[in-house]
Each structure stands twice: as structure tokens, then as C-alpha cells.
Chains A and B, each alone.
Chain A
Amino acid sequence: MKIVVLVKYVPEPTATWKFAPDLTLDRGAVEGRLSELDEYAVEQAARLQEAGTASEVVFLTVGPAKAVDGLRKALAIGGDSAVHVTDAAMHGSDALATSLVLAKALEKTGFDLVLTGMASTDAEMSVVPSMVADRLGINQATFAGALSVEGGTVSIKRDSEGAVLEVSTALPAIVSITDTNPEARYPAFKAIMASKKKPVTTYSLADLGVDASSVGLAAAAVKVTSVTPTPARTAGTIVPDEGEGGAQLAEFLSSRGFV
């Protein structure tokens, strides 16, 4: 079984993010990293390979030149090789364009199972896995809290309101994985060194047969018209508890009509 893991290189969540004049996130101004939520998918793929369930694991990303650092991090955790789709025309692409490019790249790499994180930690949309599934006409099992693969079937556990659901589907399929799965290992020095020898193939949009006019900021069907800082909440009343904290809090809640 061949697994392709979709990963994203995102701005460091703890950094101060800026927006460029075209209202896209200024990725050049911030340190980047492999999205923490994608690391769960990378770890799952590595485990499936170690267990002998997966014969080959490939990491796939779409992003600027620096995104290769995210692929190298994934390759230090496991896997055999990586694919980096990079093209200046991708700047400002929305989820529709990103999913189109990922689907084209997946057709090129081939796959039995596609794994992803539950969301990127930058756009936080959680829509790309379903979009890729739709474009490729394959089964999907998203927001998997746990995952198992047996024969040609993938089974997941998914949290829903009032119940934990078990869902099964036949391969080929795409599965997105939540952060209740095992955390990624910390790669050993030896693994980091070995990962530098793993091949990373770079594709342009032309290599994938994607018309540059169907991606990028100009093709996006959503135009961001303004980005402003969230209005700061007005400073509240903070009191030390000198034995009356509970009663004072009750008085406040009562004044707001909650008690």
C-alpha cells in the first residue's frame, strides 16, 4: 500500500503575523514550520510503514521554496521521498486552487491512501481533504480520532455530538487525522542525517498540466476587502480574593443577569 501524506509549511503560530498590501498573509516575514497538525498524519504514516502495512510513504506539499524545510522535517520522522509543488503563480491561491493542484499531483504520484492533518494552523479551514476527495472521485473519512487499515479497508473513529462513530471505507481513500492521535516522535540525529539523502522532486504547475490562470489570487472566488486587528476587549475589573471573591463574582454575574 502506498501512502501519500499532504503537509503544509505554515507560519510559526507563536510569531507575530503580518499581512501584505494584497491582504495575503506575509509568509516571507515570519519563520515557518511544518504544520503541527500535519505532524500527526506524518507520524501515522511512519507507524503504518514500520508495521509493514504501508510499502511506500511520500510527503507532498504545495508552497514557496522554503516549504522544502517542512518536507525535510517530515522525512526525518519517516517516509521514503517527497514531492514539492512550487510555482510563483500559486501566490494567493484559495482552497479550491490548492485542492486542484494537490489532486493533479496525487494523480502523478499515485496512491492507495492519502493522509492529512485535520486543518492547517494558518488558514484553519479544514476543507482541502474533502475537496481533494471530490476532485479525485475517491472515498473520504475525515476528522479521524483513530485510524486502522486492514486489507483494502480503512476504518476510523470519529467524534460526533452524542456518539463516537466508527466509519469504514474501501481504498483508495483520503483520511484527515485529528490531534487525538499519537504525537509525532522527536527525530533522532541519525534519522535527521539520513533524511537529507531522501529524494525530493520539484514540480511546477506546467509539470502537472495545471493552467496558471486557474490558480493564484486573481482566480480566487473570494476577495478579501479588509483585514483589521480584532478590537481589544475593554479592560475588566480584576480583584484579589480576600475571602469575598466568590460573593463578588456572584454579584457581578447577578448584575449581568446570569444569576
Chain B
Amino acid sequence: MSEVLVLVENTPQGIRKSSLELLTAARRLGSPSAVLCGAADDAAVASLGEYGAATVYVVPGTDGYLSVPAAEAIVDIAGRTNPVAVLVTSGPIGKDVAARVAVRLGAGIVTDATDVRSEGGVVTTSQTVVSGQWVATAQVTSATAVVTVRPNAIAPEAAPATPAVQTVDVAFSAAATGAKITASNPKVSTGRPELTDAAVVVSGGRGVGSEEGFGVIERLADSLGGAVGATRAVTDLHWVSHDLQVGQTGKTVAPSLYVAAGISGAIQHRAGMQSSKTIVAVNKDPKAPIFQVADYGVIGDLHKVLPALIDEIGKRKG
């Protein structure tokens, strides 16, 4: 069975959920091989094996660089294994890696896929296009398909295997090591889940009213164990940091529950959240477009509705 190369990400909290989603998708196309940049601890290998990795390629020497060494490692491994597909998670690193790999392999590339499958032996993808208004289905006709997959689009399913671990020493090109990370300034940890991985996201828009007012969004997120998001209007006003922006030029999220408070629902915002499984909206304006995509909506003042909701959740939790 053909190999499928999967770029996985290891964090201090373990292998990222989106990487396990990729391994799950990879099993539909062939035999998954994880490509892990950096050190491979036992827990990481065990977790990759649990989700079906038959091989784990460990690539040393990528620390201190953004994405080009990872791309060259995949090209190197692909040269020996002729994979049917290379899967990476959508995001800045994933896009950079996929772009380079596609050029080097002359491979067709699909970005932001929400589904990957094999139809008659051909790698077939689904993706939303034009700010989420259309769904495009595509077939990749080159020998290898390069696909970036949106986090939270494919449910991870375990399929235990015992991976063979191989260290791959790659001779990186001058261009691979030409851009160096000179500093890494850690952000203050909120203890909340990562926005793109979170099962619950609570977002606030301009209707929240002020930076101080945004506290109620954070309190609701904490009571639901979720991440905090915001519209571009809010990040442009610096009420919260830019990396919490959900929408066309921010993050795309697809959680089980998305709560939109004080958000009108402009198309640029909806593009980043309309794949959420359940959508709840609170807005003063009954004509706000967000209500068109909401499973449940409350027309009212979020500064009255959300505190009452937080109280009620507290009571139900006991």
C-alpha cells in the first residue's frame, strides 16, 4: 500500500489534535507515515501509533527555522517513498511547507480541504471557496497530491499500530536555513485551549462595546471550557490581541459550539466560522445576518443575557 506522508506537530502538551486528524484522513488514502520535526519522545511516538502511523520519520536540525527545512525533509523522504499524498494542517507553517513540496514534486495542491478521500484510486478533496459560499470538489491528477487540511474538519479515530521509527538526516539547502528565528517572545498563557483546536469558541464583536466589556466573553468561554475569539473590528480596536481574530484574514474555526456575541455576521467573519456544528448568537439587532446561520439566537443586550447565562451554567454545574 502506498505511503501517505503526514507532517505532524509535537507540543509540550503532546501531538496536536489536528495531526491526529491528518493521520485519520491519511488511512483512507494509504499507509500513514508521520514526519516529525524535532525530538521524538516515547509519548509522541505512542500517540502517533495509536492513530495508525506505520512509520515515524524523525527529522533533526529544523529548530530555529520556520518551514523550509520541514519542506525539504518531506521532499527528501518523498523521493524515496513515492507517496500518494502529503498531508499538512492548514496554517502559516502548513501553507509554506505544502507550497514548496508541491513545486519540488510538481504535485497538484489543494488548500484548506474539509474532506479528503480516495475515489477510484484518485485523491479527491472537498473545500469551501469564495468566503465559504460554495463547496468545490476536486481530483488531484498528479502522482502525489499535496493537501492542506483544515483543523477540526475530520474527526480523529484511533487505529492502533506499532510504528517503525526512522531518523532522517537531511542535507538542507542554503535557502532552507537562510531565514533564522532570532527571537521568540512568548505570549501570556491564558490557560484556554488553542483557538483552531477548541471544541467551544466564544467570540465577541464590536457590540461588546469596550475592552473592559470583553471580560464577559472571557468569563463565558471559561465557564464552557472554550477558547476566546473576536471579529476583525475588535482586533483592529486592540480590545484583544490580533491572533484571536476569526474570519477571512484571521483563523478559520469549526468547533462543536460557536457562540457569537455582539457580532453582526459580515461575510468576512462568517467565512471563518460557518462550518461550526452548533452556532449560537446574541445580538441587539434582530436583522443581524448572524441570526441567519444561528441554531439558536437571542435578540437582546449581551451584557444582560451572557451574565445570566454564566449564572445559569454555574447553577447547572452545581
Q: Which A residues are within 8 Å of any B CB, using their own CB? A: 13-14, 17, 19, 23, 25, 37, 94-96, 99, 118-119, 121-131, 133-135, 137-143, 145, 155, 158-170, 173, 178-180, 220-231, 233, 235-241, 245-250, 252-254, 256, 258-259
Set of chain A residues within 8 Å of B297, measured between Cβ atoms: 236-239
> A248 touches which one: B103, B110, B298 (CB < 8 A)?
B298
Interface SS of chain A: helix, strand, loop or mixed?
mixed
Asked if residues A233 and B248 are in contact (CB atoms below 8 Å), the reply is no
* Cβ contacts under 8 Å, B139 to chain A: 222-223, 225
| Residue B61 CB within 8 A of the other chain | no
CA distance A203 to B185 in the complex (A): 44
Contact between chains at B179 and A140 (CB < 8 Å): yes
- Looking at chain B's contact residues, the main secondary structure is mixed
What interface size band does chain B fall in? 35 or more
Separation of A160 and B175 alpha carbons in the complex (Å): 21
Among A23, A96, A122, A178, the one with the most B-chain Cβ atoms within 10 Å of its Cβ is: A96
Query: Measuring CB to CB, which residues of chain B are less than 8 angstroms from any residue of chain A?
Result: 66-68, 71, 92-93, 95-96, 98-100, 102-104, 106-112, 124, 128-142, 173, 175, 178-187, 189, 194, 200, 224, 232, 242-243, 248-249, 256-257, 267-268, 274, 278-280, 282, 286, 291-301, 304-313, 316-317
Residue pair A124, B248 in contact (C-beta under 8 Å): yes
Chain B residue nearest to A180 in the complex (CB) = B242
Contacts of A99 in B (CB 8 A): 99, 103
14 sample A-B contacts, Cβ–Cβ < 8 Å, listed by A number: A25-B130, A99-B103, A133-B100, A134-B100, A141-B179, A159-B243, A163-B187, A169-B178, A229-B134, A240-B299, A241-B301, A249-B298, A252-B295, A253-B313
A130 touches B187 (CB 8 A): no
A161 to B138, CA, bound (A): 31
State whether B298 touches A130 (Cβ < 8 A).
no
CB < 8 Å: which of A122, A131, A179, A245 contacts B103? A131
Q: Which of B66, B102, B111, B134 contacts A227 (CB 8 A)?
A: B134
Measured between alpha carbons, how far is A253 from B259 in the docked complex, in Å?
Answer: 10
Contacts of B184 in A (CB 8 A): 163-166
Chain B residues whose CB sits within 8 angstroms of the CB of A250 once the complex forms? 309, 312-313, 316
Q: Is the CB of B200 within 8 A of A258?
A: yes
CB distance from B152 to the nearest CB of A (A): 15
Given contacts A137-B175, A162-B186, A253-B280, contact A241 B305 (CB under 8 A): yes
Closest to B311 in A: A246
In the bound complex, CA of A37 to CA of B250 (Å):
12
| Residues in chain B near residue A238, CB distance under 8 A | 286, 291, 294, 296-299
CB-CB < 8 A to A119: which residues of B? 249
A160 contacts across to B, CB distance below 8 A? 92-93
Interchain CB contact (< 8 A) of B135 among A122, A128, A230: A230
Instruction: Using CB atoms, name the residue of chain A closest to B122.
Output: A223
- Interchain CB contact under 8 A, A241 and B138: no
Q: Kindly list chain B residues whose C-beta atoms are within 8 Å of the C-beta of A237.
A: 295-297
Q: How far is the CA of A238 from the CA of B231 in the complex (A)?
A: 22
B141: A residues at CB distance < 8 A = 221-223
Q: A125-B109, A225-B124, A240-B300 are in contact. List 17 more A-B contacts (CB 8 A).
A: A14-B267, A138-B175, A145-B242, A164-B184, A221-B142, A223-B139, A230-B132, A230-B133, A233-B274, A233-B292, A235-B292, A241-B298, A241-B300, A246-B304, A246-B308, A253-B280, A256-B257
